[in-house]
């Protein structure tokens, strides 16, 4: 059986200073179809990963129908 997860949010992402190369926070997820409560998983994310996500998600949203770019 396929187990899928729904990503709800990335909460409390923070760093010690503006030059930080690593950020900490909580990935809030829920198992699809499960009556179990939401899980909050502590995560550490490197700046390079956040940059890659920013670029990739930006391209995805720009191509999607529901996204309207502000002028």
pTM: 0.72
Give, for all 71 residues of the chain, the pLDDT tens digit.
568 999 999 999 898 888 899 999 999 999 998 888 899 999 999 999 999 999 999 999 888 876 566 66
Cβ count within 10 A of residue 51: 10
Backbone angles phi, psi at 62, to 5 degrees: -65, -30
The pLDDT value given to residue 49: 94
Give residue for tokens 């930080």: 20
The pLDDT value given to residue 2: 63
CB 48 within 8 A of CB 23: no
The pLDDT value given to residue 9: 93
Give residue for tokens 């690593």: 22
The pLDDT value given to residue 54: 94
H-only helix segments in 6-66 = 47-63
């Amino acid at each position: 059986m396929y187990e899928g997860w729904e990503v709800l949010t990335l909460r409390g992402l923070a760093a010690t200073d503006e030059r930080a190369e690593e950020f900490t926070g909580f990935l809030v997820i829920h198992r699809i179809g499960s009556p179990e409560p939401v899980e909050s998983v502590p995560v550490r994310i490197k700046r390079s990963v956040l940059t890659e996500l920013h670029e990739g998600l930006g391209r995805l949203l720009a191509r999607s129908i529901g996204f309207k770019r502000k002028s």
